[in-house]
Amino acid sequence: MTSDASSWTPSSWRARSAAQQPDWPDEGALDDVLKRLGTRPPLVFAGEVRQLTSTLAEVAAGRAFLLQAGDCAESFEAFTADAIRDKLKVILQMAVVLTYGAGVPVVKMGRIAGQFAKPRSSPTEVVDGVELPAYRGDMVNDMTAEPAARIPDPGRLQRAYDQSASTMNLLRAFTKGGFADLNQVHTWNQEFVASSAEGQRYERIAAGIERALRFMAACGIDLASEATLHQVDFWTSHEALILGYEEALTRRDSLTGGWYDCSAHFVWVGDRTRQPDGAHLEFFRGINNPVGLKLGPTVSPDEAVELCDRLNPTRIPGRLSLITRLGAERAGELLPPLIRAVRDSGHPVVWVCDPMHGNTYLSAGGRKTRHLDHVLAEIGAFFRAHRAEGTWPGGVHVELTGDDVTECLGGAEEVLDSQLDLRYLTACDPRLNGRQSLDLAYRVAELLRG
Ligand code: PEP
Ligand code: CO
């Protein structure tokens, strides 16, 4: 441990400048909530978090692939068991397509059970001609277009914790209690997906898996006792943006004495909060979770290496994932120098492609959208660059939902510009629907095979 590391505490970030924090109007009320959260049970346990680091070390070594997916922003409004189940179904379907199609173990991680805070490009936004403080996620304020709704309310931190706890509870039940059993592979295909070409293609894979399971059983293999066929490990993650909340959930592990941010298994630093001397980097360097770092087009190769040094000075494999989000147009030019610098520095990172956040634009009708063609183009550029540099394209990070929304354009069953208004339901950025998500999984499986 360096002297730097020993001076770290869960609150040492408070001496640094913290980007993107809300202007809480009542500091006393904020402190009360944070104190209370500091006494609440952790949402995850240090042992699980360490297990994820080992699993991600397999990805860093090129022996597994990470699928990280979920809402841009979870919402208090859209909080139902069905919504959680349907999101899980899509992620399980994508994982099946990847595992079956590419023969690579898939690490399944949700942007879920804590993804409630959003960094914003501007502190205000104009809605119907009226300028309002920006919506910063349900953990902070309300998206309703009224000035009062936009005032940060610390009670929302408590609500975000409560919703995360009950989401986590359901996810644990679903993934360990039979729902994620490989024998259920058909039931993950929702009606609106199953009726499409993508869904039919999935049905054929599911039938193949069922045949393989019957074949193994007929050979005398005791499938009932194979836990990996009946349960999945599903990990939670979010952007650890609101540092007071993350600090309150940071606990010392009684076994190792190390600190863990127990708000999720995996947390990441956003592209807007990765200042090397800023509060987010300070907080992240001291927690022992595996962490992610978003890298947008403004990062230089030297800066990327400096951030790796700060976040993973002892170079633990699986500790650090670099999530590039460069845009389809520029990824081919910007990614190779980043890859070379990090590779040559010897940092054992997991390389992940976020093909969403560099490809957002306004549709003709003024909706924030993304086109699946651009999303797939950035993934293609990511695979090409890593293949050329001899590094492992370790994963994808996408925004999706299990619902039949019309937020992103394109796909085999194409969503058109004129259809965006039909079911545009996101609390923040546009998400892929279930069919588009499967399209993406087929494409990634091809690239992994290729
Ligand atoms: C996000 O992942 O929702 C996000 C805001 O990403 P970025 O920090 O990469 O812009
Ligand atoms: Co987003």
pLDDT tens column, 307-362: 999 999 999 999 999 999 999 999 999 999 999 999 999 999 999 999 999 999 99
Query: Which of 325, 326, 359 maximizes ligand 1 atoms within 8 Å of its Cβ, making it the mutation to test the pocket?
Result: 325
Tokens representing 306 are 């400096």
Ligand 1 atom, smallest distance to 296 CA: 9
pLDDT in tens, 145-169: 999 999 999 999 999 999 999 999 9
Alpha carbon of 45 to ligand 1 centroid (Å): 26
C-alpha to C-alpha distance for 186 and 204, rounded to whole angstroms: 10
The total number of residues shown for the chain amounts to: 450
Query: Mean pLDDT throughout 67-82?
Result: 97
Best residue among 268, 271, 398, 429 to mutate for probing ligand 1's pocket (most ligand atoms within 8 Å of CB) is 271
Q: Determine whether 436 is exposed, middle or buried from the number of CB atoms within 10 Å of its CB (0-12, 13-18, 19+).
A: buried
* Contact criterion met (CB below 8 Å) for 67 and 107: yes
> What distance in Å separates the CA atoms of residue 333 and residue 336, rounded to the nearest whole number?
7
pLDDT on residue 128:
87
The pick from 357, 370, 397 for probing ligand 1's pocket by mutation, whose C-beta has the most ligand atoms within 8 angstroms, reads: 357
Condensed to tens digits (0 to 9), the pLDDT of residues 204-219 reads 999 999 999 999 999 9
Instruction: Say which residue the tokens 């860093």 belong to.
Output: 60
Distance 256 CA to ligand 2 centre (A): 35
Q: Considering the domain 5-449, what is its CATH architecture?
A: Alpha-Beta Barrel (3.20)
Task: Tell me the CA–centroid distance for residue 263 and ligand 2, in Å.
Answer: 19
Q: Is the pLDDT of residue 1 over 50?
A: no
Q: Is pLDDT of 412 > 90?
A: no
Domain locations in the chain as residue ranges: 5-449
User: Is the pLDDT confidence value at 198 over 90?
Assistant: no
What is the three-class DSSP state of 137? coil
Residue among 371, 369, 368, 338 at smallest CA distance from 353: 338
- Look at residue 3 in the predicted model and tell me its pLDDT: 43
